[in-house]
Chains A and B, each alone.
Chain A
């Protein structure tokens, strides 16, 4: 019984804390590309997420309904992004507009390098992080899996550093586990894998490595059954987190029998 008690204590987890915000779920889910608003709402529900990302775009004339009419802002924390920005100035401008809506001082900072790769521009990303942090934003910053840049973003005051597992929307999973591990080794802020997740096992891999969370969108939104995939991602996130906290066995080259040696 003592042993069981000890194990149970060990698997108790702290909640995810980003800046001044605390979240129960470690899965962040995007709101783009769903076949319908109804499917999106059901998928968000099935994912168990606390945080949903949104983009900032021009209001159309005669457009009186908003995405936020479909999202319960009491239930979900809204995380606006600066997707589509290709310079620090553009991203800062978008962040200012996002904050002015009064929905959040959190910003998912993306400063992209080019349209083909959607990889971040590391120099402008660091610059924009420094400025937005000074202006009081809670900055969650999208970056590549480069450990040096990740550290510089943390030093710049990012509340969370979010390395891409693979290119945005590519569904390739965690391409460089070694880099993610190196980032995690020295990180003092939550590390959230952002982008590249294709299916549930990708989320589990990230969480088993010790990441603090995963942010995804396309992997759920464009699945044939987004609601079911959202549930799969939720379970995968929880499974990966539990496995990480449990402490996996070391990998061995040779076999080691599970049963005692035969003695009769």
Chain B
């Protein structure tokens, strides 16, 4: 199915969880935060939350800044 991941259109298997998606795209899970359709999803829900077609995901982490 098609989703939007960090602003880019991406393909992923239907029924995938947030956790599995982060694994699929090799994204750091430990230091990141996830927003699904503009709602922050608590980390403890990443393994159970299932994505749907056309979901919009933002996965963010910390970078250098002042």
- Listed in ascending order, the chain A residues whose CB lies under 8 Å from chain B are 30-34, 40, 53-69, 78, 80-81, 83, 93, 96-98, 100-103, 168-169, 195, 215-218
Q: How far is it, in angstroms, between the C-alpha of A43 and the C-alpha of B60 when the chains are bound? A: 26
CB-defined contacts of A195 to chain B, threshold 8 Å: 66
Chain B min CB distance to A50 (Å): 16
* B25 to A, closest residue via Cβ: A61
Contact of A40 with B60 in the complex, beta carbons under 8 Å: no
CB within 8 Å for A57 and B27 given contacts A93-B38, A100-B43, A102-B43: no
CB-defined contacts of B62 to chain A, threshold 8 Å: 54-57, 66-68, 78, 80, 98, 101, 103
Contact of B33 with A100 in the complex, beta carbons under 8 Å: yes
Contact of A61 with B28 in the complex, beta carbons under 8 Å: no
Residue-by-residue, is B15-33 near A (CB-CB < 8 Å gives 1, otherwise 0)?
Answer: 0000000000111101111
Contact of B64 with A54 in the complex, beta carbons under 8 Å: yes
Q: How far is it, in angstroms, between the C-alpha of A195 and the C-alpha of B65 when the chains are bound? A: 12
CB-defined contacts of B34 to chain A, threshold 8 Å: 100
**Sample of 16 further A-B pairs with CB below 8 A, known A32-B63, A58-B6:** A30-B66, A31-B65, A33-B64, A55-B65, A56-B33, A56-B63, A59-B60, A62-B27, A64-B28, A67-B61, A67-B63, A93-B35, A97-B33, A100-B33, A101-B62, A103-B62
* A82 to B, closest residue via Cβ: B65
Chain A min CB distance to B42 (Å): 7
Contact of A100 with B66 in the complex, beta carbons under 8 Å: no
Q: How far is it, in angstroms, between the C-alpha of A97 and the C-alpha of B33 when the chains are bound? A: 6
Contact of B28 with A63 in the complex, beta carbons under 8 Å: yes
Contact of A63 with B27 in the complex, beta carbons under 8 Å: yes
CB-defined contacts of B59 to chain A, threshold 8 Å: 58-59
* B27 to A, closest residue via Cβ: A59
Chain A min CB distance to B46 (Å): 11
CB within 8 Å for A66 and B28 given contacts A32-B66, A80-B62: yes
Contact of B65 with A97 in the complex, beta carbons under 8 Å: no
Q: How far is it, in angstroms, between the C-alpha of A8 and the C-alpha of B65 when the chains are bound? A: 38
Contact of A100 with B40 in the complex, beta carbons under 8 Å: yes
* B24 to A, closest residue via Cβ: A61
* A97 to B, closest residue via Cβ: B33
CB-defined contacts of B32 to chain A, threshold 8 Å: 59, 101
A and B contact pairs by CB, cutoff 8 A, 26 listed? A31-B64, A32-B63, A32-B64, A32-B66, A54-B65, A55-B63, A55-B64, A55-B65, A56-B60, A58-B58, A58-B59, A58-B61, A59-B61, A61-B25, A61-B27, A62-B27, A64-B26, A65-B28, A83-B66, A93-B38, A100-B33, A100-B34, A100-B43, A101-B62, A215-B66, A217-B66
